[in-house]
Chain A
Amino acid sequence: MNPLETYIGPLKLKNPGMAASGIMDETGDSMVRMLNSGAGAVVTKSIGSVKRSGHMNPSFIELPYGYVNAMGLPGPGINGFKEEMETATKAGMIIGSIFASSAAEFAELAKKMEIYGASAVELNLSCPHAEGYGMEVGTDADIVHKIVSEVKDSVRIPVFAKLTPNTHILTKIGKTVQEAGGDAVVAINTLKAMVISPEFARPVLSNRFGGLSGPAIKPVGVRAVYDLYRELDIPLIGVGGICSWSDAAEYIMAGASAFQVGSAVVSDINIFEQINNGLTRFMKEFGYSSIKKMAGAAHE
């Protein structure tokens, strides 16, 4: 048996690593490339109802320990994404990430993603740099409940909710997702952040603030998954700063059944293969016969 095989509710993945939303996933061909590089699934760029160009550049900053971005949810809009999905879904498992400002709009987008062949939808309740979207709807338990239940009523495919760490009520929001029928919680999105240029005496990003990703946020993500695991029964998907198999192992031991990789794709686009190989070796050496047996091991 393949030890890396994992389940997220009814969804079976041949390995637990997915390409996170926002990474090489705006076009069909780039998602195919990520699948071919060993990702168990690819999460699409977050798609909204209409076309958006996103924020003006600079929308991205490199730091020694990660990246700060404020892309601002650029995308072709759900209708313009159909062709890309056709290309991508032929190559493997695609999870459709969507963003909206109301439950009804989320439900409409989810229905289209299901028609396009998505294996699941991931609700973006966590983007920190788009006014009226993301964490602005994802930090209010009542709104989250309404969104998740309405999407659940609209589609048959599993519904994941991607949550923000930029709140003190993360576990409460997680429980709300579970109560509303959500199939899994994805944690975490980027941490709200700012970089200032001393020479120009102004924030570098055109949007002023953005979201920090990369190695700097891994301990925050691991803690978030650990907290959620103690309170929730539904599967967790860990994301934030994973660069190696040992980072992935931390998230799994905190309680994740699967994980997502984003920023680390920069240094190596074939990172999934490396992580898969490393995890397999580790599991064999330390006697974990499956991801299921390893998930949450740090709690015991």
Chain B
Amino acid sequence: MSDVVRIISYRTESKDTKTFEFVWNKNVRTGQFVMIWIPGIDEIPMSVSSTKDVKSITVKAIGEATAAIHKLKEGDIMGIRGPYGNGFSINENERLLVVGGGVGVAAVMPAVRETGADMIIGAKSKDEIIMEQEARRHSKNVWVSTDDGTHGFKGNAVQLMKERITEKEYDMIIACGPEIMLYHIHKACDELNIKYQLSLERYMKCGIGLCGSCVMDGMRVCADGPVFRNEQIPMLKEFGRSKRDPSGIKIDL
């Protein structure tokens, strides 16, 4: 159902990313998403970066809609519907490693807050890292990678993950980030026989599993996902290879 929420506070996470907090009377699981409506501009899917009574979205300014969200201040309103999708399935008995790449860190941060699990944060460069301090407040082991080596491990999040999982045993990896990162997590974990859950992204219209705009091999990212498990991922031939534009035409990634 569509609602309108008022922003109660916002903060800057990095040079191009901000978090907006609002009160919304809905139960949201980690990994679920909402559709955010900015009138006159667009409506876009966004992960929920805080799932308690005060909820939040964390937005990287990459297009017209996200730039419009960045202009919002305390007291401004936005349209919201959801929550949609399955979310992550978190089992307290499993040794969990959480991996976030870029703004994808925000989507998995609630899992770190809830469980105190070990976390890997990946970014291109130091000024694109988000939520590191917050992660350290909740987790004893937070490792950071930057592609250019300006902070932490020099390399990408998957290379860092491969190092960590040879040193310490994990039962489950949950991850959100660029598709190339997720694709290589899938490759690495399949090889090492570690279970994983990946949060995927596709162009969406309805958000509830009706229109088929976001399908990958017949699976609806909005309703069957956005989180897919290790037994499902290998069946998604389009994963890591192609996506569909708003007209439904397949485009190579």
Most buried by B among A33, A57, A59: A57
Most buried by A among B42, B77, B206, B217: B206
Q: Do B247 and A266 touch (CB < 8 A)? A: no
Q: Do A263 and B247 touch (CB < 8 A)? A: no
Known: A23-B210, A199-B77, A204-B2. A60 touches B205 (CB 8 A): yes
A37-54 vs B, Cβ < 8 Å mask (1 yes, 0 no): 000000001000001111
User: Chain B contacts of A58 at CB under 8 A?
Assistant: 35, 37, 43, 79
Chain A residue at smallest Cβ distance from B223: A266
User: Chain A contacts of B43 at CB under 8 A?
Assistant: 57-59, 206
Chain A residue at smallest Cβ distance from B208: A266
User: Chain B contacts of A26 at CB under 8 A?
Assistant: 211-213, 215, 244, 248
Q: Which residue from A25, A32, A54, A195 sits with its C-beta under 8 Å from B247?
A: A54
B246 proximal to A (CB < 8 A)? yes
Which residues of chain A from 225 to 270 have a CB within 8 Å of any chain B CB? 262-263, 265-266, 269
User: Chain B contacts of A80 at CB under 8 A?
Assistant: 247-249
Q: Do A60 and B207 touch (CB < 8 A)? A: yes
User: Chain B contacts of A54 at CB under 8 A?
Assistant: 205, 246-247
Q: Do A74 and B4 touch (CB < 8 A)? A: no
B202-230 vs A, Cβ < 8 Å mask (1 yes, 0 no): 00011111111101011010010000000
Q: Which residue from B4, B39, B209, B248 sits with its C-beta under 8 Å from A76?
A: B248
Q: Which residue from B1, B79, B213, B215 sits with its C-beta under 8 Å from A29?
A: B215
A71 proximal to B (CB < 8 A)? yes
B134 proximal to A (CB < 8 A)? no
Q: Do B215 and A57 touch (CB < 8 A)? A: no
User: Chain B contacts of A23 at CB under 8 A?
Assistant: 210-212
Chain A residue at smallest Cβ distance from B209: A266
User: Chain B contacts of A69 at CB under 8 A?
Assistant: 206, 211
* Chain A interface helix/strand/loop/mixed: loop
In the complex, what's the smallest C-beta–C-beta distance from B69 to chain A, in angstroms?
14
Number of A interface residues, CB 8 Å?
44
Known: A27-B212, A74-B213, A197-B39. A60 touches B249 (CB 8 A): no
A3 proximal to B (CB < 8 A)? no
In the complex, what's the smallest C-beta–C-beta distance from A44 to chain B, in angstroms?
11
Chain B residue at smallest Cβ distance from A57: B43
Q: Do A199 and B1 touch (CB < 8 A)? A: no
Q: Which residue from B2, B211, B218 sits with its C-beta under 8 Å from A22?
A: B211
Chain B residue at smallest Cβ distance from A31: B218
Known: A24-B215, A71-B205. A76 touches B210 (CB 8 A): no
Q: Do A51 and B247 touch (CB < 8 A)? A: yes
In the complex, what's the smallest C-beta–C-beta distance from B68 to chain A, in angstroms?
13
Chain A residue at smallest Cβ distance from B4: A199
Which residues of chain B from 33 to 87 have a CB within 8 Å of any chain A CB? 35, 37, 39-40, 42-44, 77, 79, 81
User: Chain B contacts of A45 at CB under 8 A?
Assistant: 212, 248
In the docked arrangement, what's the CA distance between A206 and B217, Å?
Answer: 29
User: Chain A contacts of B114 at CB under 8 A?
Assistant: none
Q: Do B212 and A57 touch (CB < 8 A)? A: no
Q: Do B249 and A265 touch (CB < 8 A)? A: no
Give me 16 A-to-B residue pairs in the complex whose CB atoms sit less than 8 angstroms apart, sorted by A's number.
A24-B220, A27-B218, A27-B244, A30-B212, A59-B206, A62-B2, A62-B81, A69-B211, A76-B247, A76-B249, A80-B247, A80-B249, A197-B2, A199-B77, A266-B208, A266-B223
Binding site for B on A (CB under 8 A): 22-27, 29-30, 32-33, 45, 51-54, 56-64, 67, 69, 71, 74-77, 80, 195, 197, 199-200, 202, 204, 206, 262-263, 265-266, 269
